[in-house]
Amino acid sequence: MAELFLIEYKGHRREYCTNTYHHKLARNVAVITETDNGENLGFVLHRWNKDKPPRQKGAPRKILRSATDVELQKHKDFRPREIAAKAQARVVAKRLGLTMKLSDVEIQFDGTKMTFFYTADGRVDFRAMVKELAGHFHTWIEMRQISPRDESRRFGDCGMCGGEVCCRRANMKSIQIATQDARDQDLQMNMSKLTGLCGKLRCCLSFEKKQYLDIKKMFPGRGSRVETPVGQGVVERVDVLAEEAIVRFEDGTRHRVGPDQIRRAPRNNAQSSSSQSSSNANSANKGHSDSKNDSKSATGIIKDSQPEGDQAKGPVIIPAPSSASSQENPSPSN
């Protein structure tokens, strides 16, 4: 089986290619690879040493040959042409009223295709733009929409940590990042600090999420009543970096406790017995109310209001009218 090499093209675009012709390749060596309709120039990053093939869409392309000095100079001469093509495309897009942002232009090594990379919020009808650009540059025009993360990956820059942006240093395409990742790490929901250069959530939010969740599982949740060697208290928060829980006691003091010195406090027996007595009292009141309703339906209406005077009398019972008394006397016959 032919060796696999990771080749990097312009814009930090990487792809594994096979060394079918067994060329002697080293790191940072320029090579010519095949494409769907021509050739392209890239640089060797490293060789794939694992038995399992890498995850990649489609079959790997072939490495045709090593690039010569003339071909390298030709590749460098494309840079001014790409800058001029991007400026021309922006003028055309503005004249046609297209809501899109042109990010970069890439000319294929053999000059048969020119790719325009752009970002947009929705779908863009660029058929008129492609027709005008093809007539101006006399080559195949391809419009490719990319995401804000892909745009940051193409250009690269320094992040808030001072290092290179994560999306350029590592393959972050398959990782989903949400605001819940920031909540799990007890970070303030300040979007100006949680977003990167691309305007999306920073990729590094997913790096330590698993460690935070694993350490938090070692302690009771926030607000839980626990027992410690110092006494009973309430968990205020968990210091993940120190792997300690901060417990607040009734006198207002706080102590740091490790996972082997903390456990949930047992439920108070007096509290459980009082809740049971309250439950029994509610059941008794309900039974008394039911019997009271039964007596009301059988004997009549019971008035609980007491009459005025020095001595209170019992409740006054008004008998319910019988069916015989409720009938009216028949009128006398004439």
CA end-to-end span of the chain:
126
Distance (Å, rounded) from C-alpha 98 to C-alpha 102? 11
What six digits make up the tokens of 43?
A: 């640089």
Residue 9 lies in a domain: yes
Distance (Å, rounded) from C-alpha 10 to C-alpha 83? 14
Residue 136 lies in a domain: yes
Residue 272 lies in a domain: no
Residue that terminates a domain, selected from 67, 84, 108 = 67
Residue closest to 267 by CA, chosen among 238, 224, 217: 224
87 and 141, same domain (yes or no): yes
Tell the residue number behind the tokens 């969740």, with chain if given.
Answer: 213
Residue 112 lies in a domain: yes
141 and 79, same domain (yes or no): yes
DSSP string, 24-93: ---TT-EEEEE-SSSEEEEEEEEE---SSPPP-SSPPEEEEEEPPHHHHHHHHHHHHHHHHHHHHHHHHH
Residue 183 lies in a domain: yes
Q: Structure pTM?
A: 0.65
Residue that terminates a domain, selected from 232, 264, 296 = 264
49 and 93, same domain (yes or no): no
Domain that holds residue 49: 3-67
Mean pLDDT lowest for which of 79-88, 174-183, 187-196?
A: 174-183
Residue 259 lies in a domain: yes
Percent helix, strand and coil across the chain, each to the nearest 5? 35, 25, 40
For 134-159, what is each residue's pLDDT tens digit?
Answer: 999 999 999 999 988 888 888 887 88
Residue that terminates a domain, selected from 67, 97, 122 = 67
For 318-332, what is each residue's pLDDT tens digit?
Answer: 454 544 444 444 444
Look at the chain and report how many structural domains it folds into.
Answer: 4
